[in-house]
Amino acid sequence: MSDVAQSEFNIRKYIREDLFPHFMCPGCGHGIALRALLNAVHNLGIDKNRLAIVSGIGCSGRVGAYIDANTFHTTHGRPLAFATGLKLARPDLEVIVITGDGDCLAIGGNHLIHACRRNLNITCLMLNNEVYGMTGGQVSPTTSTDRFTTTTQSGNYEPVFDACKLAEGAGAAFVGREMTLQTPALRDLIMEAIAHEGFSFVEVLSDCTEVFGRKNDMGDSMEMVLAQKSGFRSNSYGTAVDEPFKPRGMKTGVLHRSERLEYAAAYQQHHAEKSST
């Protein structure tokens, strides 16, 4: 697996070069997340023919289209539903879902909790940029308090979803969070998530510079990722740093890991029990 010294990672082997340059705005963190994902796939030695990428609608949905593998661009909020069907029909495939915060938590929230509950062996990568970027910057379930969007002209007043807690509560086997600035850490987290048996949920903190950052005067992509870095703490630090300085600092890294029975295995076990009686 990861300890095998393979050929050097060449991203051009994994992308559809004819579609480049991609459609994302200058400084968009989704491109960094794409590199981390492809590097993780490379390090795990997953064959492109055995890799299925399922994505929904939105900026994040377009990320999947640039990967030279079996890609599946589905309807808004439903990539997890499609992926569930795909994995059940073709258990040999490595199914990775790329979804966004609006796609996954708002319109697809129902599918997320049930995918977590069933614990099917797929990996869900949620690119969280705090906004509906593609449709013009509407408020999303993860938009921070007091941020301006086209639908919250006086600042956002809605409470924010903690997607990782939601996934953990719904029963996901592996939950992690990482920001795009820490790209090697993000790659390693994705590798762990893919390797973990059961439903793996990874929240990637991305940045939307053009639609969200510009409106909120958050500076360019460098300032946005550095602001992210100062607001988050690695889970491995424990509370040592948080207690005095960052009482509300959110955590990155592996947040939850359990060995709950995977859906296909549970199904087979159930079937064997029923047929034997």
**Residues in touch with other proteins (CB under 8 A):** 8, 10-12, 15, 20-22, 24-32, 34-35, 180-181, 183-184, 209, 220-222, 225
Identity of the residue, 157 or 245, whose beta carbon is nearer to other proteins in the bound complex: 245
Q: Is 136 exposed, middle or buried (CB count within 10 Å of its CB: 0-12, 13-18, 19+)? A: exposed
Q: Determine which helix (DSSP H) or strand (DSSP E) holds 232, and give its type and residue range.
A: strand 232-234
Identity of the residue, 8 or 273, whose beta carbon is nearer to other proteins in the bound complex: 8
Rounded distance between C-alpha atoms, residue 78 and residue 104, angstroms: 8
Identity of the residue, 67 or 202, whose beta carbon is nearer to other proteins in the bound complex: 67
Judge contact between 147 and 155, C-beta under 8 A: yes
Judge contact between 236 and 253, C-beta under 8 A: yes
Rounded distance between C-alpha atoms, residue 99 and residue 55, angstroms: 6
Rounded distance between C-alpha atoms, residue 51 and residue 94, angstroms: 5
Smallest distance, Å, CB 27 to other proteins?
3
Smallest distance, Å, CB 9 to other proteins?
10
Smallest distance, Å, CB 209 to other proteins?
7
Identity of the residue, 106 or 189, whose beta carbon is nearer to other proteins in the bound complex: 189
- Maximum distance among all Cα pairs of the chain, rounded to whole angstroms: 66
Smallest distance, Å, CB 35 to other proteins?
6
Smallest distance, Å, CB 154 to other proteins?
30
Q: Determine which helix (DSSP H) or strand (DSSP E) holds 200, and give its type and residue range.
A: strand 200-205
Dihedrals phi, psi of 250, to nearest 5 degrees? -85, 160
Identity of the residue, 121 or 209, whose beta carbon is nearer to other proteins in the bound complex: 209
Identity of the residue, 35 or 256, whose beta carbon is nearer to other proteins in the bound complex: 35
Smallest distance, Å, CB 28 to other proteins?
5
Three-state SS annotation for 137-149: CEECCCCCCCCCE
